[in-house]
Structures are given as structure tokens and as C-alpha cells.
Structure 1
Amino acid sequence: MWKIAIIDDERQVLQGMKRAIPWEELDAEWSGEAMNGADGLNIIRSAQPDIVITDIYMPLINGLDMIEQLRKEGFSGKFIILSGYSDFEYARQALRFNVSDYVSKPISIPTLKTILAKVIQELTAEEEKRMKQGELEQKLMLYEPFIEKEWVRSAAVGTLDSSYGTHLPKPYRYWESCHHAVMGIELVREGRACQCSLSDWNLFRFAVSNIVCEWARRTFPFVEYAELHSTRAVLIIHPQAGQTEQAQKAMEELGARFIDSIQSYLKLACRVGIGSIKNVWTRIPDSTEEAFRAMDTRHTRVPGSSELFVYKGIGESGDNPAVLLPVKVSYELANAIKSAQEGDAQQLVAELTSGLRNQAGITPDYVRMLGSELWGIIAYCLYEVGQVLEELFNNELIAREIKELTQPEQLQLWLQEKISVICGSRQWKGSSKHRKVVDFMTQYIHEHYAEDLTLADLSDKVFISRNHLSIIFKNITGETFNTYLTRVRIEKARELLTVGNLLVYEVAEQVGYKNVPYFSTLFKKLTGMNPTDLIK
């Protein structure tokens, strides 16, 4: 209900206005009156009306001075001036104070009603705009952690918007006072990894992030972990200036622990590459490229580990780093495919193959190798969002087609044709929006599994009904929301029990269960073991 105050030094006008305004019809109510500008100031300050109808000539303080003072104080209500004087100068001043209307006395009831209706319509539109702005701010606050994660990923691979320049978000200002290095981590898709479902694969990746961060934070106080695509992730390390040798040794020890722990706890194989230490954060993408280049070329193995590699200036030893697939390109291509951005994906392929045409040493074997790698990226990133390429392409036919590729031009045409089919498929177009919702939900679960989390909570956050959201989640992940949440909690509990020194009830509380017997029952059901079996 809109509040209206009336300020006029003529009592007859005050009473007449109160009787003439169709309060119910306008969904309005009277909120106060005064017969001079000084009392008007007090009434308006206390009642905070939405609309003020005021005269200009009044004792103590005139109407314009009253309006000016209220505007200086930040009062944002609407003013309608009703004056017995049609003075252009007064009207000009009124416009300066953002007055909604300036009307000469006497005024007819229909005119008054029309003016009030117009002002109330303005107020309604402004209120709707504020509500939408509030919803937007709420969404931004909700998505802030994920926007922050995306910023870290972009900083790691070199895809930050140019408008950032060298600006650092507040949580990462400390980057300016330390050095930086990247450890690349790649899960090997073989054996157990090839047989697991999408949900299991997401849980494995979640478990890997827990293991990596748990070990890393024991050595370095500040680290950032970010998944890139399919099987690859990065860990950004921030050694102190002047401690290059110590940091290098520590990263090599960490890499060996990652490989051993992931194999021991998850029965998965992984490789780790270590980029060189940079003295400014804007060179972090260079360290990322070095980490994966060391891994891809298998150069400079760290003694004692067959899957740990460190960058030692590979480009100086005869290799041509330009013909290797850049991390930035593979990351951008995966994102474009997952979000069905066909134009972006086609452009990335065109730029990559165009760059190859002018380079020496591009053999048919390399073209076929690059084709296999790019196809693997496309297949894995689609698998992550529940799309199986076998439904669109025959694997044996794809393998034969790749063997026939000999020139960059052939590779470009072949990939662009496949991308068009993928992005043009009805199933892909129809469900891409749903996949984005589920991506948000799974990330939110991984961030808030310890809280009292329900599907109803998430339905409020993504503005989709609970029942509809339940169907979407099940269609994309293959399991219910509660089952997925339980598996995330139990996976985290297993990691805490294995690498920590917590008691069972402490672990149960940390993963969101207050009922310890219930937690123990779920744990045994999903893992085949009692929680106490893992306590060392």
C-alpha cells in the first residue's frame, strides 16, 4: 500500500484533498499532514511517505526549500507540487529537485486522480526494478564461489578477459607478494577409470581434489585447485620468493605423494607434471603449459617415479613446443563443446589448424595424433555432461577416418563436420540448459555437503520447481539427488578417515551426519567396510 502525505497551509485544502483522493482505488493510505514546511520536514522524515503533495508558499519553510533539504538527506519519494502560482521559475526549480508534477490550484478530482495514478505507476515500475535488481544481486552472491573458481581456472590457462589487466580480485591479492608454479594432474583413462559411470567419475574427481589439496596444504599455506576438462586439473602453488630450490624439491615430493595416494585410495593411475616457478602471477599460464608439456612429451622424469615429470626447458632440447596442443586451446574447446557454442568451437579448430600449415615438421603421424587427442577431448567433455558420442558416431568408423588424416586442412574439415553434427543434434540442443543447472548443483553439493542440504534448497537457488529439478538431475546424472549427496559425503568421510586422525563421530559431523549409527550404516552399505576399519 502506497503512503501519501499532504503539506499545505490551508486547512480547507488539506481536508478537501483527504476526501477527494480515492484511497482504496489507488491502493494508498494517508500517512500524515502539516501546515508549514518545518512540520512537513518532520512528518516526512518520520513517516517516509511514497508520495508528498505540497504547496510552495507556506510559513517557516517554503515547499521548494523543504524539498531541497529532503533531497539532500536522501529522501527518494515522489513530490507533487500543488500551487496557486503558475510561475515558470518555480516550475524550473521543481524540475531540478526531480518533482513528478507541478499543478496549479484549483485542481479537479479527475485530474488529481490521473496525476496520482501516473505517479503510482512510476513507483510500481521502480519497485519491480528494485526487486529484479535484488534477485540479480542474490544470484551473484550465490554464484560468487563458482565465478571465483572460474576466475582461477582462467588465470591458470590464460583465458582471463583483457579488461582484467593485472588486477587481482580481493581474495588473491596475496599473489602479488609471492612466486607461482603450476602442477598439472592427469587421471589416466584406463582399467577402472574406463568402466565407471558418470556419477562415479565425478566422485573420483572430487576425491582427487580432496587428496591433492590435503597433501598440498601441509607444505604450502596457500594453494588453488581447479579442474580443466575431462581428466586434467591444475594445482597452483605459491612459494615464497628466494626459496626456489626448496619449493622445487617440495613440489617433486608432493607429486610423488599425489600419484601414490590416488593409486592407493582410489585405485586410479595418474600423471603429474611440474612447471617452472614464475615471479609474477601473470605468467602462471606459462607454468601451466610447461607442466602439461613435460607430461605429454615424457621428458625429464623425476627419479623414483615413472609418472612424475618436471619442466626443464624442453623447447631448447630440439622439440618444437608450438606443435603441441596448448592447454588454453584444449580448455576453450572443451568449454565451447559443453555449452554447445558451435561457432566458438569451429573458430578454435580453424585457428589451431591454420597455425600448423605454416610450420615445418608437421607429419601425417602428427596430424593423426592431434586428431585423436582432439577427438578424445571432445568425447571426454561430452561424457562429463552425460552425452555419449557412440549415440552419434560409430567408434570403428571414427578410428578409420582418423587414420586417413594426413594434412592440417583435412583435420580441420573433419573436426568441423563432427562439431556441427554434435551441436546440431536435437538431444544436445534440448538439454544443454539442463546440464548447466546440474553442473551448478553438483558443484554446490561438493562445496556444501556438510550442511543440511535438500533438493528444495537448490530448487530455490536455480528457480526451478523441486519435482522438475529432481527429474532433470536424475536424467543427467543417472541417480537421485539424495543418492548423489550421500555418495559425496561418504567419499569425503572415507578420505578423512584414511588420511586424518579424527574419530568416527567427528568425521560424521564434518560430512553432515549428526546420527552416528545412521552414518555408519550408510558407510558400510556404500563401501563394504565399517568406518572404524579405516582408522589408523
Structure 2
Amino acid sequence: MWKIAIIDDDRQVLQGMKNAIPWEELHAEWAGEALNGQDGLEMIRAEKPDIVITDIYMPVMNGLDMIEQLRSDCFEGRIIILSGYSDFEYARQALRLNVSDYLSKPISLPTLKEVLGQTINGLMEDEERKLRQDEWEERIKRLAPIMEKEWIKGAISGTLGELYKQDEDVAVPYRYWTSTQHAVIGIDIVRNERVGSVSLSDLNLFRFAVRNIACEVAAGFFAHFEYTELHGTHSALLVHPDQHTDVKAAEVQLLQLGKQIKDAVESYLKLKLKIGIGGIKSCWKEIPDSTEEAFRAIDWKSHPLEPGADIYGIGNTAEKKQTQLIRPVKFYQELGAAIKAGQETLACQLADDFAGQLSGPDEPDSEYLQLLAREISAIMAYSMYEVGTVLDEICPSEVHDQEWASIATVQQLTSWLKDKITSICSSRQWKGNGKHRQAVDFMIQYIHDHYPKDITLADLADKVFISRNYLSHIFKSITGDSFNTYLTRVRMEKAKELLMERKMLVYEVAEKVGYQNVPYFSTLFKKYSGMNPTDLVKS
């Protein structure tokens, strides 16, 4: 209910206004009355009405002085002046005091009703605006940790855009980065028989447990550290040796930390780890170099820091130069997403773009290219594993070994990768007649073009002239997914992309990908990705 107060030194006016206002129709109630500005001021302070109707000429304190005092008190209600005097100076002062309306006595009932209706509509708009503002602020506050984590992940993996690489863009809790050293410890869960036999949910539990152990151990060595999960079974622990710490002493400290993490994980979780230790960097913008060094050290295994312990570092200058030829983290993530979605054209385009980065006068040697092929195979295997497909069933591992050995140029690597992409995507297609494949290709393209809209299988069945039930069978045979599952995955992938851009709120992203019901969107998003866009930050 909207509260309305009336202030006038004429009792007849007070009573007449109380009787004339259509209280129920306006969803309003009487809040109080006064015969002068002073009493009106005290009443308004006590009752806090939404609307004040006041005269100007009154004893003790006139209406304008009362309004000025109310504005000094930060009174935010609407004020309507109802005066028997039409004076320009009064109107000018009223305008300065942010008065909603200036009416002359006598006033007709229709005019009074119209003015109060407009005033209440304005109050409702203000209230809605404030609610939206509060909601946006709350959502921004709740999303801040996710945005912060993504910024950290980008800073570690090297995927930060140039606009986010300035010292002033470092989040307040991490401003200390500008005055410390930095080093990355790369952690890779060995995909042995035990790890390879577990479900994806169990593998994610392993990753979560490794994270907890690594952070607990790191807390005994460094006051500040950050942990982020990368692609597949890879994760990174970023630590910050004091700027005055001797490099040799810091390297010993890093080795001890790596050993304790590895021993603790093997002891408590019975999991094997490979540990890579990147170089110590003096500037936070060089952190991705340390990340690449850490994982290249694991891949090369050429400089073991602890005999027989699967802990490696970067040895000589030639090796360090080789690790900096390319940063494939972003490429791996994009390639994995394209393969999971069965987007053969996009995946091949990514392969060509990656080849462009590798090509040039300093083209990598065959050993490095074969290393990339092994890594890419692991990424493809993990990406397919996440959607319930085993890569070895399509491309046996012994075939991989033979193919890797024949790669000596960037062109050969690209051809091998594009052949694998085609094999993976075509393996999921139903070997029906050309008409059926064309129908499913049309459906897939239609889904990607119209995913924000209300798409149904019945609608598409009409477009391709195939019965709904038969089309459902064909679609699942060719893609490996039901129509609804595929549509949901496309929407969720796009939602994840939009959320990571940090330009939209969760409800806006939901609407953008075709969901008006935000709670339902959140439920689907959590089921698909394991994260709730609105509740994850509470944990």
C-alpha cells in the first residue's frame, strides 16, 4: 500500500481530500495529516509516507521551508503542492526542490485522481528500477568470484586479452602479484588403468581431491598461491616466492613442494602424478611462460629433478626456447569443445589456425611436433571421454604411435589432425542413405542457427518430410545424441561462452540461449557442466 500524507491549514480541505481520494483504487492508505509545516515535518519524519500533498501558505512553517528541510533530510518520497496561489516564484522554488506536481486550488476529483495515479506509477517505476539495480549488484557480487577465477586461469594459461594485462587490472586481492616472483607447478594425473576405468564424475572427484591436497601442502610453503584446473587431467599451482628470495633457494623450495604434493596424493588417493616445475618469473605477465615450461618439462622428461620421481624441470636454454614456440592451451580448449559438439568444420578451421601459428622460418622440429601430436591426442581422448566415447575404439593407440613417428612437418601434423577430426566426427554418423544424412546435417545447422528459439523435433520433421519418430531414430544414430540432448548441449556451450565473456548477467544469458525460466536454466547448466551459474559462488 502506498502511504499518502496531507498537510494544509484548512481543516475542510483536509477532510475533503481524505474523502475524495479513491484509496482502494490507488492501493493507497492515509498516513497522517498536519495543520502547519512544522507539525507536518515531524509527522513525515515519523510516518515516512510515499506521497506528501501540501499547501504553501501555513502558520509556524510554510510549505516550501518544510519541503526544503525534508530534502535536507534526504526524504525520497514524492511531493505534490496544492496551493490557492499561482505564483511563478513559488513554482520556480518548487521545481528546485524536486516537487512532482504544482496544482492550484480548487482541484477537480478527476484531476486529483489522475495526478495521484501518475505519481504512484512513478513510484512503482522507481521501485522496480531499484529492485533491478539491487538484483544486478547482488548478481555481480555473486559472479565476482567466478570472474576472478577465470581471470586467474587466463593469467596462468596465457589466454588473457591485452586489455586485461595491465597492472591496474589486477584484482585487488592479487595486487601483491606486482611485487613478488612467480612460478608454476604443473600437475598431471597419470591416466593409468585405475584412472582410465573410472567414470567422468569419479575423475572429477579425483581432480577435486588433488586440488585440496595440493592447496593444503602449498599453504605450508607459501603465504599466497592460486590453483586452477586446465584441460583434461592437467592443473596448475601458481606460487609466489618473495622478491628477495634467492633463485636457487626458491628452486629448492619448489622441488620440495612438488615432492610433497606428489607423495601426499599417492599416499591418500593412490593416484600417480607427474610434476613439472616452471621457471621463476619476476613479472606476473610472464606467468604463462612458467606454465608452458612446467608442462613441457613433463612432456620432455629430459631434466628430472628427482631421480625416479616423475618430477621435471626445464634444463638447458635450447629446451627453454623450444617450450616457448607456441602456447596451445587456448587451442586445446577450443578444439575439445568443437569435438564434443561434433563440429567438424569448426575443428578443422581451428587446426588450420593452429598450423598458421606454428609455421614460419623457425618451424618446430619433428620431435616437438610429435610431442604436440601426442598432447592433442590426449585432449581429443579426454574430450570424447566426457561425452561417453572412447577414442581407442575409433583410432587404436598402436595406430597413433605409428602415425606420430611419421610427423616431421607442420603440414603433416595438420593433415594428421584433420584426418583424426574427420574420423571422430564421421564415426558418430549413422551409415544411412544420403537423404537421411542430409536431413540430420540440416537439423544440426538449424539448431546452431536458431538455438535461442523454441525448436521442436516435430517442427523439424515437417521441414525435412520425415516422421517425427523416425527422424528421432535417425538423429540419434548419426549424432549419438537425442535431439533434445544435442539442443541442450549447444545451448549450454553457448551459455558457457557468454558467461565467460562477462558482459551479461545470468538471467540475460538464459534468455539469450532460449530459456525464460532462469531456475530451470540453472538446473540444466549445473547438470551439463557441474557448475551452477548462480549458486556456485556460494560454495
TM-score by length of 2: 0.71
Q: For 1:99 and 1:335, how far apart are their aligned partners in 2?
A: 58
Change in Cα spacing, 1:191 to 1:409, as seen in structure 2 (3 Å) is closer
**1:444: which partner in 2?**
none
Instruction: Specify the SS of the correspondent of 1:229.
Output: coil
1:186 corresponds, among 181, 185, 188, to 188
Q: Report the more deviating stretch, 415-424 or 51-60.
A: 415-424
Render the CA deviation track for 1:342-391: whole Å, top value 9, x for unaligned.
Answer: 9997876554222223244357886676455335325424645xx23469
Q: Is the 8 A contact 1:353 1:412 kept in 2?
A: no
Instruction: Specify the SS of the correspondent of 2:31.
Output: strand
1:430 corresponds, among 488, 509, 515, to 488
**2:220: which partner in 1?**
218
Instruction: Specify the SS of the correspondent of 1:130.
Output: helix
Shift of 1:206: 1.1
Shift of 1:264: 3.1
Instruction: Specify the SS of the correspondent of 1:127.
Output: helix
**1:531: which partner in 2?**
none
**2:298: which partner in 1?**
295
Q: Is the 8 A contact 1:340 1:428 kept in 2?
A: no
Q: Is the 8 A contact 2:299 2:371 kept in 1?
A: no
1:195 maps onto 2:210 in alignment: no
Corresponding letter in the other structure for 1:66: M
1:41 maps onto 2:46 in alignment: no
**1:21: which partner in 2?**
21
1:64 maps onto 2:64 in alignment: yes
Unaligned runs of 5+ in 2: 426-440, 449-478, 497-516, 531-539
Q: For 2:341 and 2:126, how far apart are their aligned partners in 1?
A: 35
Q: For 2:142 and 2:214, how far apart are their aligned partners in 1?
A: 26
Q: Is the 8 A contact 1:435 1:476 kept in 2?
A: no
2:283 corresponds, among 276, 280, 285, to 280
Change in Cα spacing, 1:67 to 1:289, as seen in structure 2 (3 Å) is farther
Q: For 2:196 and 2:348, how far apart are their aligned partners in 1?
A: 28
Instruction: Specify the SS of the correspondent of 2:235.
Output: strand
1:247 maps onto 2:247 in alignment: no
Instruction: Specify the SS of the correspondent of 1:219.
Output: coil
Render the CA deviation track for 1:19-53: whole Å, top value 9, x for unaligned.
Answer: 11111111111111222222222222221111111
**1:396: which partner in 2?**
395
Corresponding letter in the other structure for 2:166: G
Corresponding letter in the other structure for 1:166: D
Q: For 1:139 and 1:125, how far apart are their aligned partners in 2?
A: 21
Q: For 2:348 and 2:75, how far apart are their aligned partners in 1?
A: 54
Instruction: Specify the SS of the correspondent of 1:464.
Output: helix
**1:137: which partner in 2?**
137
Q: Is the 8 A contact 2:236 2:291 kept in 1?
A: yes
Q: Is the 8 A contact 2:351 2:418 kept in 1?
A: no
Q: For 1:248 and 1:339, how far apart are their aligned partners in 2?
A: 42
Percent identity, aligned pairs only?
Answer: 45
Corresponding letter in the other structure for 2:395: E
**1:207: which partner in 2?**
209
**1:166: which partner in 2?**
167
1:4 maps onto 2:62 in alignment: no
Q: Is the 8 A contact 1:357 1:408 kept in 2?
A: no
**2:128: which partner in 1?**
128
Q: Report the more deviating stretch, 300-309 or 208-217.
A: 300-309
Q: Is the 8 A contact 2:292 2:323 kept in 1?
A: no
Cα root mean square deviation, aligned:
4.1
Change in Cα spacing, 1:368 to 1:287, as seen in structure 2 (3 Å) is closer
1:311 maps onto 2:314 in alignment: yes
Shift of 1:245: 2.2
Q: Report the more deviating stretch, 164-173 or 406-415.
A: 406-415
Change in Cα spacing, 1:182 to 1:367, as seen in structure 2 (3 Å) is closer
Render the CA deviation track for 1:177-213: whole Å, top value 9, x for unaligned.
Answer: 4322111111122311111101110110111112212
Change in Cα spacing, 1:122 to 1:163, as seen in structure 2 (3 Å) is farther
Shift of 1:54: 1.9
Instruction: Specify the SS of the correspondent of 2:186.
Output: strand
Shift of 1:254: 1.8
**1:505: which partner in 2?**
none
Q: For 1:76 and 1:340, how far apart are their aligned partners in 2?
A: 57
Instruction: Specify the SS of the correspondent of 2:53.
Output: strand
Change in Cα spacing, 1:101 to 1:311, as seen in structure 2 (3 Å) is farther
Instruction: Specify the SS of the correspondent of 1:122.
Output: helix
**Number of aligned residues:** 448
Q: Report the more deviating stretch, 263-272 or 1-10.
A: 263-272
Q: For 1:164 and 1:48, how far apart are their aligned partners in 2?
A: 49
Q: Report the more deviating stretch, 157-166 or 422-431.
A: 422-431
Corresponding letter in the other structure for 1:205: R
Change in Cα spacing, 1:275 to 1:390, as seen in structure 2 (3 Å) is closer
**1:104: which partner in 2?**
104
Corresponding letter in the other structure for 1:235: L
Q: For 2:349 and 2:46, how far apart are their aligned partners in 1?
A: 61
**2:240: which partner in 1?**
238
1:69-84 alignment runs, 5 A limit: 69-84=69-84
Q: For 1:137 and 1:69, how far apart are their aligned partners in 2?
A: 31
Change in Cα spacing, 1:26 to 1:428, as seen in structure 2 (3 Å) is same
Change in Cα spacing, 1:117 to 1:260, as seen in structure 2 (3 Å) is same
Q: Is the 8 A contact 1:353 1:411 kept in 2?
A: no
Q: For 2:5 and 2:268, how far apart are their aligned partners in 1?
A: 71
Shift of 1:302: 0.6
**2:272: which partner in 1?**
269
Change in Cα spacing, 1:476 to 1:184, as seen in structure 2 (3 Å) is closer
Corresponding letter in the other structure for 1:204: F
Q: Is the 8 A contact 1:340 1:429 kept in 2?
A: no
Q: Is the 8 A contact 2:305 2:313 kept in 1?
A: yes
**1:454: which partner in 2?**
none
Shift of 1:472: 8.2
